[in-house]
Structure 1
Amino acid sequence: MFGQNAYILRRTDQDRCIVVDPGFEIQQIVDYLEGNAYQLDAIFNTHGHIDHIAGNKPLKTLYPSSPLIIGARDAHKLSDPEANLSLGYGMEVISPVADITVEDGELIRFAELAFETRLTPGHSPGHVVWLFRDTEIPLVINGDVLFKESVGRTDFPDGSFKQLEKAIREQLYTLPDETLVLTGHGNSTTIGHEKQHNPFVQPVNA
């Protein structure tokens, strides 16, 4: 229904990993973790919408010691079906509460991976992205902020295109052009490609 992307990230020399934005296709994630004997270190939610949190409960049931992490300003959505938009789709998704909430600029480390938190409101007030620099090419776990030649929706009650535009310009377009953007929907992209080709948000000096 949602075509949402979940991610499993780990170092190649480790059997510990993190899962980002587990949605409805949770069995695929569990099968992959169990089939490779990976240990789940943490569950990351970029924001609190239904398609990015629906798998939290089954994952926490299977891996109760794995902390659930979300931006502080979206934490309330986990247990509020109206705020996480599930009621609007005829469902009632209630996630376990967050074990850890993060703020802009906060550094977190799980599975021997270090991530920088950046607050990116607009699609959702507490939306965060996580920047990972410890690879040859930096990558950002982007959720529903920036897509390939598109941007996240801002027509929700607490959405704001003005905030989204500001977040993209200040928190994403300031990253190196080669930065890989792992999107919440659709194909991945790069910061450089979006600065040149995104019709919704252009750099201020474009």
Structure 2
Amino acid sequence: MKILGFRSKKGWKMGLATFGYGFILMVIIIAIIDPSTEETTAPVEAEETTPVEDVEEEVTKPEEEEAEVDAETIEANQYSSMFELSNSFIRQDIGRLGQHLQVFAYNEMWKDEYYEYVEELTEWAQDLRDMENVPDKFEFTHEAYLEGVDDVLASLDMMTNAIETEDDGDLDYAVVVMERGIEKMNSAEEQYKATK
């Protein structure tokens, strides 16, 4: 079995691998011997005594605050992950729909592909809408983003109606509504990045 970085016998690869393996080893050692877990003992002066209730209060308050901050951070990180994933797929589906609409056709294969893109986009939008416990700092951004998504979905409803009736009279207005929705989404995404 050959070790990654040493198989080709090239100096620069071996040097980089040595550095990488050393870094990984250092991280593992630091994780095992975490200086924050070491207890320090200081001499206790006999003259000062603190009632037990005061000591318990001093000890539990920082722990409670730390747990509260950690819960908020975890909640914000979970929201961020879901928002970024949903945003990525929503934008991908909008892009694919845009490309698909550029080769507009009323045949069944084209319609099936169109409906597939609309369905995927709708599912991702619904996932965002169904999110519970949106952190307070993202509440406004979340609502603004959903307004944009709602405009995009409304435009798709207009386009779907035009496709089903083969009457493209409302397509221009549907495009305007979609562009308005994308602008709202862009603005909300900028707010999200600034808030994050």
Q: By the TM > 0.5 criterion, same fold? A: no
| TM norm structure 1 | 0.21
Higher helix share: 2
| TM norm structure 2 | 0.22
Give 1 or 2 for the bigger CA radius of gyration: 2
